Structure 1
């Protein structure tokens, strides 16, 4: 948001502006005729701006009158009416300090430079020539250049006096690293802010080049003291920036400067929660920037935990309570930073999401609050309407903060109680009077505080609860085993549990189990807070016994990582969704217990039950991987696996809820596999090329990549299910004899083999998040005995001269998943040529029938002769949905037979690889009766739907024999109609 322009100076402020103009004229007159002419040549808009600015700011009026020549010079430069270019401030200060004689002169030049720039920034802010972002950026850059240029002036002089600090381990000269924290680190400094700094240096050692060496620690402590003095001390010219060093380890009691190893050790062993969120903003603002970035990289695991860290809410909630107590104690309710609905609450909201999710979602590892808010909206953490209110409300508060500070260049966030200052603030903010301004301010503070309470408020703080009560409190004595067994059973029965003994036993096993006994105090407190809440919600469910049966194994799995318990305690909606999904599907329950990081997905109901489409999936995964350094393969593999786990859960949840029909479930799971394969191919290609160079085509040009991954079976037929493996074939079109052009050249055949091996490794390697997919490569030419990767020509020759009929059947469902378009088109031509050739139908029927008979014999239900015996329809025997007669494989074989038999005359049958659309093609061509096609399609969808449900229930794909009789008989009839046996 932007403020309206200042137009008319109100009467109450006009006299002050006129006095400022008179004072400026008098000061300019004392400089002589030249200065008077410079002032009189001002354009009318600038003169009007001067009146408006000095009506609002005593600081500008005083600076103009005190240093009229400097003010005229600033105006003549045109800098009042334009934005500065990147680096312009640094160049100005660097030139100014080039002739600096001593530390007193350094202090004087720094302060006069700061005053000039402060005047410019306030002028541009009040005249609306700079928006909030530019003002904060200019103030932060001003601090950066003052810190760094002062350091660079001081460092060589201290080296001349005390010697150059040398690292004991590296033997290299050491530099100070200055970390900017808070708003300085975020690049969002306000008009009169102090600057929070932390000093560090890479390694210990001693100075060299002088007779009496100093320890590096002492050298940098002295350097830090002089840097602080150069910036902070108040002289006749004022100060540069107030410096606050209390964020360093141990605060005011700690050393002024620490080595990197000491900093890392401190944060690892003693770092507190508030130091974590302070470090979110940390940025190198002076000294050795490369070493400083290495330090921040080493400290990142302290700030951003690899797991979901909902303990951050507790820490920020406690900090907010402390702030509120201080606000009340000091009567600071009118403080727009610390009071309710103030600046700090917006910052807390952003930091909560950063600390909880930032270890895994790298897009949240940002310093700028506005960028974080945009990410929270873009990634779906908060609704767009909420972000809009937070963004606009925060901007209004920051503009107000600048208005308060522009008046006298004083660090304050307190609303004034004097009439004149109130008039100034209202004028600066573009309101006709204080009442109108205060009404708008109150609106934004109320909205911010409301959103803050939604995110950070304690879930036990509900209006209808007594002050000492909490959700599920009636279950706490039961959980803590402070009741007789009879009373426990009675309470469980009254709550709807059918088997209180089993429920009591499960709770006792968790409470007294080795995992819970090994918990530290904080973890045990979290468990004790969570279980009563779980029992309360279980009692509201129609099947509370199953809730405990399914959810308690998950609790046991995460009990040593109690931050997950905090997640569920803090988010009742997430706990409700967890219960619903676990009761509906033991597969989901087991999946989340095995990978508890998936609990994050339960936080956003809209995202959980609305998985993205194919382009969005691919774009999301690409964006995630782009945030990870190219050389960090471990993190890339983890990101791929978490992406698959998260989206697999979303699809399963959507299927269970009924928001996603069966065919769409398979679509999404197939799109997910394709998005992952695309990135895996890119990663493998990049790695293999980096090692060996690029392979070549037959014409000598480099491949890019002239490689495709072909999917067979379920992935080829767009029919993936939960837990399906991938049937893959790799094909390239490079020159197998030509050598690659890298540092370790190999021939093309070796290159593509290693590329294939790398792809398989990336897909199948087990990490903390499991593996991506099981991969089956047996459908490649010559099966397990064949080459891992075939050239396009070799693949064509094999399919045309050596492949068995069953391999051509498999080719019906084969399609290119990812890779080079030109090679993909070549594969499609081979497929069409092989499948579209004319076949002897009696021979084809015999070969298909024999293959199916062999499969039934080996894989079907022996008791019913694979569903063909007289007892196959009895309720007491099982029916294998896939392998028994009349089942899924029969339908697939009929489709494959039809495609092989008739595509010679009907090439349109080869357009699609999924059974449903091939069946549509058979009906359209009149090759099968429409009613038979409809029967086959409905039976196929029914079988697959039942199989999906069985999988989510962790049951085999077998149903009682008296089920699905109509479908089975119809499929078997059509099988016989086609002449298959």
Structure 2
């Protein structure tokens, strides 16, 4: 037997009592000692375990010993049971009252599987004798039995949930969502009991229960009021609709009974109060309203706080269709609330009132309402949601952490700030849960007694000096919340953006330079010159600039290159001059200003486009999803029709292309457009540009030659990354041209015409203009630069039959007919499919040749001085490695695996894995590398303003690339390490699969 001192060292407070208790456990004592010692309160856990064994023995002799032996033999069960006993006196009491429920914790799925909401609902309804599949379930047990059964089943499921939370660390958001699902199921079961109580009258009304607050947001605490709103409609009957008076009485009875069923105390205790005071007119208003009555109130009388409360509204019980209609009705009202006069001031005042009503003796220990508490985060997040959620539906999340993640992803909250807020809020919510779990009491105050602090600290993982470590961690997160709350809640983009505050407006030049330097500006004097140019004078423009710049300066400071951001802003502002919408949009549309600041401080490529197309600032308030080729082509063709010359038409086409390049670039920079979608968008844009310019060139040559109709049909075949739908910003458009004489036209005449059209197309695309050039590269055509620019299908067929090499068939893997005559495009595709997808696969000699060519490319094409580890295209695990591996699989197997017949890399990889040609793990590794390298390649071009196939060595450029990829500030090294690790793994796969 161990000494009492050894038990104290393990974590027990009363070593002597622990020694006696462990001895009473018998053979189970030794294996369970460490499990008990790891709990929040080892002494309470041991006492609870002994009491549970005694109760089991009282029911069935020897059952307690059997339970102990079984628990000691199952580590998972032991961990779960001991964790609950050590953290929750209330659940320990439940286990003693219902000892058979200990077996719930033997379920091995508890560690990995969250029960679906429908299963929890079925369990709750079944417990009260209701049919869970009925349209309106009615409890089948006698009333008192049903009410008690509701409580017992509720705690049975809560016991399982708590064990998952404590033993398996499921995360605060998952735990809160699971509690919310349980609350929703409880409301449905309580409504079933209420229907049984009300009887036949209940059929007169359809009732929906709308959860608000934390239950509505899927973030309920262990014990909390459940905020609801009731909406009803008269039910239809065989003789028509029930009159409203009868339906109102039925709905009121149902709602009243439901509230009573949940909150009444019985021999099995209570559950929680159901609070309906968030309904229209609060406690003074009717308990239930029709949908039309709710709508009328919200449209005419509701205050700002009521719309804030509706942020989290969701139907949880009763009639699902009615609940859905209620939420659909209130959603537009919620998301237009920010347009109400005085919206921001109302919300800020509401926050101040909450703080003022905190009891003085609780102020410093309040987790929820105190300064630096949960409500600070929730208010800031909800306010930002309401302000920006009008236009950005991704922000319409009920749970605070989900909404915070959406705000961070959307750029409304800085990534670092978002991460720190997430960390702080998660800690505070977890601490709140641990406090409430002990007695299942509704409290948000951190206790002061040493025993409670010790238990809480241990429950959060602080086994050494738990009380001191808990206090340190809590105070740190409170400070962080205070700091971030002040930054996010009162300053940026809320209401009218504040003018330069007192001391800031009166800084000396020296002090201003110091401040700008501290913010990260490398050339503070130049920054001051820009500020002077932007704000000097007494015009309305200067006044708005003075309003905007304090916020913009901070946003520029958060970007990789603050100086470039401010300088770019000055140039765009000077270009747009007194354009009335420009500064007003930046002042009133916070998202636009924030996006503009991020773009100007990060991307030379996008900044150059904005300087050439300053009207593009408007686009930052729109969707940044790339447009379809059809939409772009339609616009281009409309402009071409109005142009008087081919040159003017080509300039108009290229202007549309310039604008859409800006859309795609901005989408990747600030809206998180996926790299595959970027490649598709750039490829579609090139399709439209080539089609529109081909039409211009065809018409121009026809007119020059005085022809009534074109003597030849022409098609454009995309090759390389363009054919693969995978263009990047700096890619050339690799193409081949094919033509076909119109019936009755001589071959020479048709060929001459087609060659002239191609020449004219290339000339029009190379005209000097203020847009990035579109280089049309036809060098992949048969015979390369020495071959004819345009061939017929028959000429291509003859060449491929007699002279082509395996590398040309490999090149055809990515051929895609994208522009010109559709029938001709189809004929060309029919020609090349058997060549690039040979029915019998690739001969061994050709496989060797492909590998030989790859080895030669690896040795000879890498630029002198380039680092093979960080070269994006030809480096280890880079684009060439992945794409050649995929293409070899295609040439060898696409003859029999139809799904491999795609010019795109990622779909081909998926097809190869599905066909068993490569393991799913290897395919995933290659896909991950391809996506990462493609993202880095795009990011490098966006940052530098021109293509570059090497991971940047310059620290500022590297930081900017990391920022474009979504890394927080100061994470450049992490980005490089992630890149090297990902490409190293991909290269290992290439070594196995390509060089096998």
The normalised TM-score by structure 1 is: 0.55
Deviation at 1:326, TM superposition (A): 1.9
Deviation at 1:193, TM superposition (A): 1.8
- Paired residue for 1:400, among 389, 413, 431? 431
Matches within 5 A, 1:380-395: 380-395=411-426
Deviation at 1:331, TM superposition (A): 3.1
Distance 1:837 1:209, change over 3 A: closer
Q: Does 1:120 align with 2:160?
A: yes
Q: Does 1:585 align with 2:585?
A: no
- Is the Cα–Cα contact under 8 Å of residues 56 and 427 in structure 1 kept in the other structure? no
Deviation at 1:29, TM superposition (A): 2.1
- Is the Cα–Cα contact under 8 Å of residues 57 and 406 in structure 1 kept in the other structure? yes
Q: Does 1:74 align with 2:114?
A: no
Instruction: Name the counterpart of 1:279.
Output: 310
Matches within 5 A, 1:770-785: none
- Is the Cα–Cα contact under 8 Å of residues 310 and 567 in structure 1 kept in the other structure? no
Distance 1:355 1:372, change over 3 A: same
When you count helix as a share of all residues, which structure comes out higher?
A: 2
Deviation at 1:158, TM superposition (A): 3.2
The normalised TM-score by structure 2 is: 0.54
Question: What is the CA–CA distance in structure 1 between the aligned matches of 2:337 and 2:714, rounded to whole Å?
Answer: 44
Deviation at 1:259, TM superposition (A): 1.0
- Paired residue for 2:171, among 131, 143, 146? 131
Q: Does 1:430 align with 2:461?
A: yes
Instruction: Name the counterpart of 2:183.
Output: 143
- Matched residue SS, 2:170: coil
Residues 145-164 of structure 1, C-alpha deviation per residue, up to 9 Å, x if partnerless? 1111222443366361x263
- Paired residue for 2:357, among 326, 333, 343? 326
- Paired residue for 1:85, among 115, 123, 143? 115
Distance 1:6 1:118, change over 3 A: farther
Instruction: Name the counterpart of 2:292.
Output: 261
- Matched residue SS, 1:42: helix
- Is the Cα–Cα contact under 8 Å of residues 838 and 904 in structure 1 kept in the other structure? no
Distance 1:317 1:594, change over 3 A: closer
Query: Rg bigger for which structure?
Result: 1
Instruction: Name the counterpart of 2:532.
Output: 541
Q: Does 1:16 align with 2:56?
A: no
Root-mean-square deviation (Å): 5.9
Distance 1:228 1:375, change over 3 A: same
- Paired residue for 1:164, among 203, 217, 233? 203
Distance 1:820 1:404, change over 3 A: same
Instruction: Name the counterpart of 1:316.
Output: 347
Residues 171-220 of structure 1, C-alpha deviation per residue, up to 9 Å, x if partnerless? xxx41111111111111111112211010124699997999994322221
Deviation at 1:304, TM superposition (A): 0.8
Distance 1:602 1:677, change over 3 A: same
Distance 1:145 1:839, change over 3 A: closer
Deviation at 1:652, TM superposition (A): 6.1
- Is the Cα–Cα contact under 8 Å of residues 56 and 99 in structure 2 kept in the other structure? yes
- Is the Cα–Cα contact under 8 Å of residues 371 and 478 in structure 2 kept in the other structure? yes
Question: What is the CA–CA distance in structure 1 between the aligned matches of 2:722 and 2:293, rounded to whole Å?
Answer: 49
- Is the Cα–Cα contact under 8 Å of residues 309 and 357 in structure 1 kept in the other structure? no
Residues 237-283 of structure 1, C-alpha deviation per residue, up to 9 Å, x if partnerless? 11122211111111111111111111111111122221222111111
Deviation at 1:909, TM superposition (A): 10
Residues 290-336 of structure 1, C-alpha deviation per residue, up to 9 Å, x if partnerless? 22112211211211129878965433322221122223645322111
Q: Does 1:457 align with 2:490?
A: yes
Distance 1:826 1:421, change over 3 A: closer
Deviation at 1:656, TM superposition (A): 9.3
Question: What is the CA–CA distance in structure 2 between the aligned matches of 1:246 and 1:24, rounded to whole Å?
Answer: 41
- Paired residue for 1:440, among 463, 473, 478? 473
Deviation at 1:38, TM superposition (A): 4.7
- Is the Cα–Cα contact under 8 Å of residues 53 and 63 in structure 2 kept in the other structure? no
- Paired residue for 1:192, among 191, 201, 223? 223
Deviation at 1:812, TM superposition (A): 12
Q: Does 1:65 align with 2:96?
A: yes
Question: What is the CA–CA distance in structure 2 between the aligned matches of 1:369 and 1:835, rounded to whole Å?
Answer: 70
Question: What is the CA–CA distance in structure 2 between the aligned matches of 1:245 and 1:213, rounded to whole Å?
Answer: 21
Question: What is the CA–CA distance in structure 2 between the aligned matches of 1:797 and 1:450, rounded to whole Å?
Answer: 65
Instruction: Name the counterpart of 2:846.
Output: none
Matches within 5 A, 1:533-612: 541-542=532-533, 544=535, 548-550=539-541, 580=570, 583-586=573-576, 589-592=579-582, 600-604=591-595, 606-609=597-600
Residues 662-706 of structure 1, C-alpha deviation per residue, up to 9 Å, x if partnerless? 9xx99x99x99993243748999xxxxxxxxxxxxxxxxxxxxxx
- Is the Cα–Cα contact under 8 Å of residues 204 and 215 in structure 1 kept in the other structure? no
Distance 1:94 1:716, change over 3 A: same
Question: What is the CA–CA distance in structure 1 between the aligned matches of 2:310 and 2:184, rounded to whole Å?
Answer: 18
Which ranges of structure 2 fall in alignment gaps of 5 or more residues?
1-10, 12-32, 130-138, 507-527, 557-564, 636-647, 663-684, 726-732, 742-746, 777-783, 792-814, 819-996
- Paired residue for 2:738, among 817, 821, 829? 829
- Matched residue SS, 2:347: helix
Q: Does 1:412 align with 2:443?
A: yes
Instruction: Name the counterpart of 2:629.
Output: 678
Distance 1:58 1:207, change over 3 A: farther
Name the count of aligned residue pairs. Answer: 648
- Is the Cα–Cα contact under 8 Å of residues 151 and 287 in structure 1 kept in the other structure? yes
Distance 1:830 1:611, change over 3 A: farther
Which ranges of structure 1 fall in alignment gaps of 5 or more residues?
166-173, 462-468, 477-490, 492-536, 556-564, 615-646, 685-710, 726-762, 764-774, 784-794, 853-885, 896-902, 914-981
